[in-house]
Structure 1
Amino acid sequence: MQKRTDIKNVAHAILASEMFHLNDVLTDIFGKNGIIILSGISSGKNVDQIIESLSPNVRKKSDKIRGS
């Protein structure tokens, strides 16, 4: 379990170093919407394409996602 936590912390650190502060928007970046965002980033989608695929309650925070 600790190894999993360590890996998640590394992922958070990498994203934060690249100015993706998703923890300001999501409670779990490895949840459904987090995976959609991470997949979108890794596949080269633009922010608008990623936001369109998120759940409505997360789309409400699109200004924070764009500012991340």
Structure 2
Amino acid sequence: MDADKIFLLIGGLLCTFLYIILTIYIGCTRSNDITIRQVKRLAKKTNKKKDTNMVMNTEQLVESQP
């Protein structure tokens, strides 16, 4: 084997190794962003439910007062 072939082999392996690491890293960071978005959506939904409950409670209080 020539030195050129060895150099190309090492370079190719290094590139594939870097590519695998980058894809795993990007995949992990993207999935974390999605979970944060889901948490924010859930928080918005629960806040809306609380708001509607508060409105219903105030309506009941107004109706119950003589």
TM-score by length of 2: 0.29
Larger RCO, structure (CA 8 Å, separation 6 or more): 1
Larger radius of gyration: 2
Flag the structure with higher helix content. 2
